[in-house]
Amino acid sequence: MNRAAASIVGMMAIALYSGMGMAAADPYQLNLPEPQTIIARQIYDQHTMLLWICLAIFIGVFGVMFYSVLKHRKSVGYKAANFHHSTTVEIIWTIIPFFILVGMAFPATKTIIAMKDTSSPDITIKTTGYQWKWGYDYLTGEGEGISFLSNLATPRAQIENASPKEENYLLEVDNPVVVPIGKKVRIIITANDVLHAWWVPALGVKQDAIPGYIRDAWFTIDKPGTYRGQCAELCGKDHGFMPIVVEAVEPEKYTQWVAEQKSKSAAAVVDVSKEFTMDELKAEGEKVYAANCVACHQANGKGIPGTFAALDGSKVATGPKAGHIDIVMNGKTGTAMAAFKHLSDVQIAAVVTYERNAWGNTAGDVVQPSEINELRK
Amino acid sequence: MAAVEHDIPHTQEHYPTGVMRWLTTTNHKDIGTMYLWFSFLMFLTGGVMALTIRAELFQPGLQIVNPEFFNQLTTMHGLIMVFGAIMPAFVGFANWQIPMMIGAPDMAFARMNNWSFWLLPPAALLLITSFFVPGGAAAGGWTFYPPLSVQMGIGMDMMIFAIHILGASSIMGAINIITTILNMRAPGMTLMKMPMFVWTWLITAYLLVLVMPVLAGVVTMLLTDRNFGTNFFNAAGGGDPVMFQHIFWFFGHPEVYIMILPSFGIVSEVIPTFARKPLFGYSSMVYATASIAILSCIVWAHHMFTAGMPVTGQLFFMYGTMLIAVPTGVKVFNWTATMWRGSMTFETPMLFSIGFIFLFVIGGFSGVVCAIVPIDVQVQDTYYVIAHFHYVLVSGSLFAIFAGAYYWLPKWTGHMYDETLGKWHFWLSMFFFNLTFFVQHFLGLAGMPRRIPDYALQFADFNMISSIGAFGFGSTQLLFLYIVLKCIRGGAKAPAKAWEGGKTLEWTLPSPAPYHSFHTSPVIK
């Protein structure tokens, strides 16, 4: 029992005195991460205050109880009293906790109201949860029009213990969300398939992503840095493998980043009416497959029997291509197959072509981006 | 014929033998025994799942199970522990103790009692065999939120059916308990003279009748969404996934109190007995229990603070949740005042009861922390929440179940259990429980989400400590099995009043208690 009590005292002491200085990757981190926004700081302080109040009550109640345990025992010859109620005492210990709670609720209420104030942001970013990655669309403000997907960057080999795990194991992505410091960022959160939750502890933001509904939250980051978080709502098999990385940079660097993204996306614009060859589509399709499909359908196209359908030799992938395109674009209700409409025309065309002509599949037909483009109309 | 013999009142000790005794029994003690063994079996089953989870989490990386199976394990561990272990254990206590404590011969609806027990094994079988169907068991968490739960295979339908059956069993059990308590009390036992255990079960039974149909409704809606093309929870069809959460937690939050109120009852029996002093503030205990039950019905959305709701909604549910701390505090203060200036001894039931109060208060504190919306935003769906609800469910409900089992074993078996081993069981449980779950507070605060099969390197050390604790805690429970078996087979003869301070009616019956408790009602003055 003393061990637990000592841990509590330790936890609180560390919370107050040394928590602030701890690095994010401290293996013995006992407290919330160092707060980077005003809301996260308020949360941190309220949590610390609560722990002190709890500690005081804990010592009070168990001080009395353990005094009694030591002194009022039969083995030391203590004779039992026979009192069994006292209205005064009972009223007192009903009223006092009530006022303590009011004291706790007051600052919390102010923070809740502040958390909800997503008005007049400098930048608005929409994030969409997918099984199992995040998509980001910069909607308004500087960077408007930027759009990308953010996948786990940790190699499979590290997860399967085939190679040593590196520092940011499971907390690293290919495309982080870049935001400028000192600007109010409103984040609009939704999902494509099932529930997810967008959570970055240092920013004090956690919001469920709900398919068909949008929610929002906001943050203003004080200083540059890389802040890592994870999906916080069970979303299936790879729930533990869809991290969130927010990179906060100086406004000038942000402008630079926006320019880079714009030129990249300008270079990536492809004329959808262009005719692609089978090999071009298959090469691109393999990449799209690796980024979007492999988690369920597996690299060998065999899926996971009973859970995720095989594509190698499947009716869909060897049958008419219209049905194949439909299932990729619109998903299949009642199964784990989500809609992949958010991919580009080229990507959808490429991945369908790839699936129809990879492994043992030899449909031999080619799906052109123009066909996909036509279907979207 | 066996069945005919059963219809004759006052046939002491006349019943079929072997399997038929247990299949056909309408006796509250036999049924209570079956409930308790069933729940222990489920406790071990859910425990093995928990240990597999902890084994996978011993180190970062995937070693033992794949992520799909991991999700099935967390889901089934939760469901089996809640519906298979904790709830049936309390019904087992109710069956054994309520008739004896109110001076009744048996439960009011003896045949329905048999039926409510025998519904449980098929439900358990459905849950366990679902691991072997294509797609495996349900893997959407014990809360099975759609749309994820709509994606699952037939395992989810089996789980839904199991929940329907378990719900029907609980409702029948609850109606039986309410009827027994309201109609079969000994003359002179007014409601306000009932033992606290009976009071807490009366209130719990009302909660069950109130919320189990809600659960049945929500799983049925899910079933039709899955199989018959309805769109209750599908936004694309005009439904709302968040509505599922509201309905589920309207059941789910009172469910939490269904699992803790009978523990309060057990502890309120044990502490006065071993303090040799009446329970302090009996009537305020009754009012506190009722207040907790009523408040529990209006705070459900505190499980959904990150789902997004208007400010006023968040404030209402935050204030309501915080208010629960008041009657809960009253209970803790009353127990302390009961111990104050008593003449205490510390047999195993008393140790488990004090351990219960000590750790339940820690769980209560982390509950208040979770109630504060801004802080909850950080800890929601993290290991902090896992630590919180294991503090109230394991060191809360389970410790109280152990306290009750040791307390009443002499009455049930006619033998005293092995006190030395009982104390070992307590201290080992206490140590390993804290080793397992205290560090999970730190993991949650530092940012480890729940329900993940693999984690970042910074969480490695605490996870390893937690896994070691879990294996220690799991093995310790085999000691409990040994102690109970030993007690059934022999040991010092227990007197009618096994504990010096025992004041309730069951201690006026011989030990072991006769097959039919009271032929003539005792009169309470």
List chain B residues with CB under 8 Å of A1: 355, 358, 430
Between A300 and B275, name the one with better pLDDT.
B275
- The answer to whether B330 contacts A29, with C-beta atoms less than 8 Å apart, is no
Query: How much is the pLDDT for A321?
Result: 85
**Phi and psi, residue B159, nearest 5°:** -65, -40
- Concerning whether B328 is annotated as a catalytic residue, the answer is yes
Distance CA A193, CA B52 (A): 29
List chain B residues with CB under 8 Å of A336: 151
If residue A207 lies in a helix (H) or strand (E), which one and from where to where? Answer: strand A205-209
Query: How much is the pLDDT for A308?
Result: 81
Q: Name the nearest CA neighbour of B107 among B175, B172, B28, B167.
A: B28
Instruction: Name the pLDDT band for A20 (thresholds 50, 70, 90).
Output: very low
Tokens of A208: 């469920």
- Concerning whether B193 is annotated as a catalytic residue, the answer is no
The mean per-residue pLDDT over the stretch A90-119 comes to 94
Query: How much is the pLDDT for A277?
Result: 85
- Which among B284, B372, B450 has the least Cβ separation from residue A50? B372
Contact B35, B98 (CB under 8 A): no
- Concerning whether B424 is annotated as a catalytic residue, the answer is no
List chain B residues with CB under 8 Å of A201: 378, 447
Which residues, at least 6 apart from A293, have a Cβ–Cβ distance to it below 8 Å?
A311, A351, A355
Residue of A nearest to B364 (CA): A54
The active-site residue out of B39, B116, B149, B169 is B169
Kindly report, residue by residue over B122-179, the tens digit of the pLDDT.
999 999 999 999 889 999 999 999 999 998 889 999 999 999 999 999 999 999 999 9
**Phi and psi, residue A42, nearest 5°:** -60, -40
Contact A69, A63 (CB under 8 A): no
The active-site residue out of B328, B353, B382, B511 is B328
List chain B residues with CB under 8 Å of A116: 311
The mean per-residue pLDDT over the stretch A229-242 comes to 95
List chain B residues with CB under 8 Å of A69: 339, 344, 346, 354
- Which among A33, A90, A208 has the least Cβ separation from residue B307? A208
Percent of chain A with pLDDT over 70: 92
The active-site residue out of B450, B451, B486, B503 is B450
Instruction: Name the pLDDT band for A6 (thresholds 50, 70, 90).
Output: low
- The answer to whether A168 contacts B456, with C-beta atoms less than 8 Å apart, is yes
Residue B290 gets the label, from left (phi > 0), alpha (psi -120 to 50) or beta, of: alpha
Contact A78, B343 (CB under 8 A): yes
The active-site residue out of B255, B269, B376, B506 is B255
Contact B468, B483 (CB under 8 A): no
Residue of A nearest to B319 (CA): A105
- The answer to whether B368 contacts A104, with C-beta atoms less than 8 Å apart, is yes
Tokens of B1: 């014929």
Instruction: Name the pLDDT band for B12 (thresholds 50, 70, 90).
Output: low
Query: How much is the pLDDT for A322?
Result: 86
**Phi and psi, residue A365, nearest 5°:** -95, 165
Query: How much is the pLDDT for A313?
Result: 85
Which residue, among A74, A96, A198, A200, would best test binding to B if mutated, counting the most B CBs under 10 Å from its CB?
A: A74
Q: Report the mean per-residue pLDDT for chain B.
A: 94
Percent of chain B with pLDDT over 90: 92
CA distance B288 to chain A (A): 10
List chain A residues with CB under 8 Å of B354: 65, 69
Calculate the alpha carbon distances from A174 to A152, A154, A251, B39, B162 in Å: 6, 9, 22, 48, 43
Query: How much is the pLDDT for A167?
Result: 92
Distance CA A26, CA B459 (A): 9
List chain A residues with CB under 8 Å of B451: 234, 239-240
Query: How much is the pLDDT for A8?
Result: 54
Q: HEC string of B9-69? A: CCCCCCCCCCHHHHHHCCCHHHHHHHHHHHHHHHHHHHHHHHHHHHHHCCCCCCCCCCHHH
Query: How much is the pLDDT for A65?
Result: 95
- Which among B234, B445, B459 has the least Cβ separation from residue A32? B445
- The answer to whether A30 contacts B369, with C-beta atoms less than 8 Å apart, is no
Residue of A nearest to B60 (CA): A159
Looking at A21-35, B265-279, B345-359, which range is the least confident one? A21-35
- The answer to whether A307 contacts B68, with C-beta atoms less than 8 Å apart, is yes
Kindly report, residue by residue over B474-496, the tens digit of the pLDDT.
999 999 999 999 999 988 999 99
List chain B residues with CB under 8 Å of A65: 336, 339, 354, 357
- The answer to whether A69 contacts B136, with C-beta atoms less than 8 Å apart, is no
Looking at A89-98, A343-352, A366-375, B13-22, which range is the least confident one? B13-22
Kindly report, residue by residue over A330-364, the tens digit of the pLDDT.
888 767 787 888 888 888 888 888 888 888 888 88
| Helices B325-339, B311-323: crossing angle, 10 deg rounding | 10
List chain A residues with CB under 8 Å of B362: 4, 8, 58
Residue of B nearest to A214 (CA): B308
The active-site residue out of B37, B118, B142, B515 is B142
List chain B residues with CB under 8 Å of A98: 326
Query: How much is the pLDDT for B8?
Result: 43
The mean per-residue pLDDT over the stretch B8-33 comes to 80
Query: How much is the pLDDT for B268?
Result: 97
- Which among A231, A240, A334 has the least Cβ separation from residue B453? A240
- The answer to whether A236 contacts B148, with C-beta atoms less than 8 Å apart, is yes
The mean per-residue pLDDT over the stretch B276-292 comes to 95
**Phi and psi, residue B62, nearest 5°:** -95, 120
- The answer to whether A232 contacts B449, with C-beta atoms less than 8 Å apart, is yes
List chain A residues with CB under 8 Å of B145: 195, 233-234
Tokens 């204030």 correspond to B319
Query: How much is the pLDDT for A363?
Result: 81
Distance CA B515, CA B525 (A): 26
- The answer to whether A195 contacts B452, with C-beta atoms less than 8 Å apart, is no
- A-B contacts (CB, under 8 Å): 318
Q: HEC string of B243-287? A: HHHHHHHHHHHHHHHHCCHHHHHHHHHHHHHHHCCCCCCHHHHHH
Distance CA B394, CA B387 (A): 10
Does residue B220 surpass a pLDDT of 90? yes
- Which among A78, A111, A168 has the least Cβ separation from residue B343? A78
The active-site residue out of B106, B157, B347, B506 is B106
- The answer to whether A101 contacts B326, with C-beta atoms less than 8 Å apart, is yes
Percent of chain B with pLDDT over 70: 97
Instruction: Name the pLDDT band for A319 (thresholds 50, 70, 90).
Output: confident
CA distance A149 to chain B (A): 21
- Concerning whether B450 is annotated as a catalytic residue, the answer is yes
Query: How much is the pLDDT for B10?
Result: 47
Does residue A9 surpass a pLDDT of 70? no
CA distance B305 to chain A (A): 9
CA distance B463 to chain A (A): 10
The mean per-residue pLDDT over the stretch B299-325 comes to 95
B244, HSE (Cβ side, Cα atoms, 13 Å): 24
- Concerning whether B303 is annotated as a catalytic residue, the answer is yes
The active-site residue out of B277, B331, B390, B441 is B331
Distance CA A148, CA B126 (A): 44
